[in-house]
């Protein structure tokens, strides 16, 4: 397929600058969704929309073919302290570095995948194409991709745009957050009374620190558990009657979150509650045709420790996009124009004519 990579990159860059200029913190993406929807419709394509999610089906959509989903998210985190540039003013420097909140995570992926979608969907492919720009990814919100998937045709494979330096993440750790509570009895700290709730959590905190689940993933490594918050007490001279702590658990594909929870609870003296089981680990076979083609293009599959909307996809998916994960959620976030150009070119080589079966 003949394409003008320079022209596609220019289009992507212009759209990305427009999106950066529109604040789109999670759950406040309406204006960014409007911008993207108008951009697509101005190119003669019909769109669907639910809340702040925008999608588009290829004009030659045929349910007899498998469907390939191209997805990335339009929401951003709130700007962190330390920005030297205005996070909502796109600033393009002479070296091709574009500053702006969401430029790297994941605006560059959104605009690159959209240009690829607009190019490929006008050609004959062995699959249907579906483009989805979703919201609330940064907060794993229920009004994001999870709310849209039931409205879409069945999906056979998804390519998720996130900053991976255009290397294919074929596995991704899941997330489960536990709230653990110990209950004691208050009393005066100067007297031998009360039942100190802080002391009750010590053994459980030590268990989370030291325990290792036996199943280790070749790509994702072991399940990782971290106690990240502890809260107790009202003042220095009162024995605390309640102590709570939070555990961040990053699951591998060897366990579902429910299985991990069921294995954890018998080891604890305190009461544990999971906030959700819905953000599970994901993985796709290294033998999948899309993965094999990525390898043929010189890409190296890896396992990603960071969470994305892949966790909410009940079908095979691969995460791959321009930029570096280390730039995400940082002050003076940026993307290079050459990274966008590389992404569009690689996406086209990866997807043009590829089999999904």
pLDDT tens figures, 58-86: 998 998 999 999 999 999 999 999 999 99
Residues 6+ apart with CB under 8 A from 223: 213, 215, 249, 250, 251, 252, 254, 255, 260
pTM of the model: 0.93
Which DSSP symbol is given to 17? Answer: H
Give the pLDDT score at 357: 86
Q: Kindly tell me if the per-residue pLDDT of 143 is higher than 70.
A: yes
Q: pLDDT tens, 239-252?
A: 999 999 999 999 99
Segment 281-325, tens digit of pLDDT: 999 999 999 999 999 999 999 999 999 999 999 999 999 999 999
CA 227 to chain centre: 22
Write down the pLDDT at residue 1. 58
Please determine, for residue 3, whether its predicted confidence score (pLDDT) is greater than 80: no
Q: What is the mean pLDDT of residues 100-125?
A: 96
Spatial separation of the C-alpha atoms in residues 287 and 303, rounded to whole Å: 15
What does 90-159 look like in DSSP terms, one character per residue? -EE-TTSEEE-TTIIIIIHHHHHHHHHHHHHTTS--SSEEEEEEES-TTTT-TTSHHHHGGGSPP-SEEE
For 247, phi then psi, to 5°, come to -120, 125
Q: How confident is the model at residue 122 (pLDDT cuts 50, 70, 90)?
A: confident
């Amino acid at each position: 397929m003949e394409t003008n990579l320079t022209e596609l990159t220019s289009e992507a860059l212009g759209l990305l600058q427009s999106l950066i200029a529109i604040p789109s913190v999670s759950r406040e993406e309406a204006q960014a969704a409007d911008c993207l929807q108008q951009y697509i419709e101005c190119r003669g394509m019909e769109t669907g929309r639910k809340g702040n999610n925008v999608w588009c089906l290829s004009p030659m959509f045929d349910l007899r073919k498998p469907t390939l989903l191209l997805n990335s998210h339009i929401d951003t985190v709130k700007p962190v302290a330390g920005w030297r540039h205005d996070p909502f003013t796109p600033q393009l420097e002479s070296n091709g570095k574009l500053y702006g909140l969401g430029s790297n995570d994941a605006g560059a992926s959104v605009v690159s995948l959209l240009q690829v979608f607009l190019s490929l969907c006008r050609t004959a492919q062995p699959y249907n194409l579906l483009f989805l720009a979703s919201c609330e990814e940064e907060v794993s919100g229920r009004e994001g991709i999870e709310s849209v998937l039931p409205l879409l045709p069945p999906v056979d494979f998804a390519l998720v745009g996130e900053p991976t330096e255009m290397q294919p993440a074929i596995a991704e750790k899941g997330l489960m957050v536990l709230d653990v509570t110990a209950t004691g009895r208050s009393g005066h700290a100067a007297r031998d009374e009360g039942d100190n709730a802080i002391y009750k959590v010590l053994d459980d905190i030590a268990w989370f620190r030291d325990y290792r689940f036996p199943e280790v993933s070749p790509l994702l490594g072991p399940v990782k558990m971290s106690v990240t918050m502890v809260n107790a007490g009202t003042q220095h001279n009162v024995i605390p009657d309640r102590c709570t702590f939070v555990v961040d658990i990053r699951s591998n594909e060897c366990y579902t979150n429910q299985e991990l929870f069921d294995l954890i609870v018998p080891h604890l003296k305190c009461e544990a509650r999971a906030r959700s089981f819905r953000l599970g680990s994901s993985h796709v076979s290294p033998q999948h045709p899309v993965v094999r083609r990525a390898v043929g293009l010189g890409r190296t599959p890896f396992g990603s420790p960071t969470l994305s909307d892949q966790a909410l996809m009940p079908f095979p998916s691969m995460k791959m996009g321009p930029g570096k994960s280390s730039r995400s959620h940082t002050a003076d976030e940026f993307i290079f124009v050459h990274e966008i150009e590389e992404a569009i070119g690689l996406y086209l080589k990866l997807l043009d004519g590829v089999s999904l079966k």
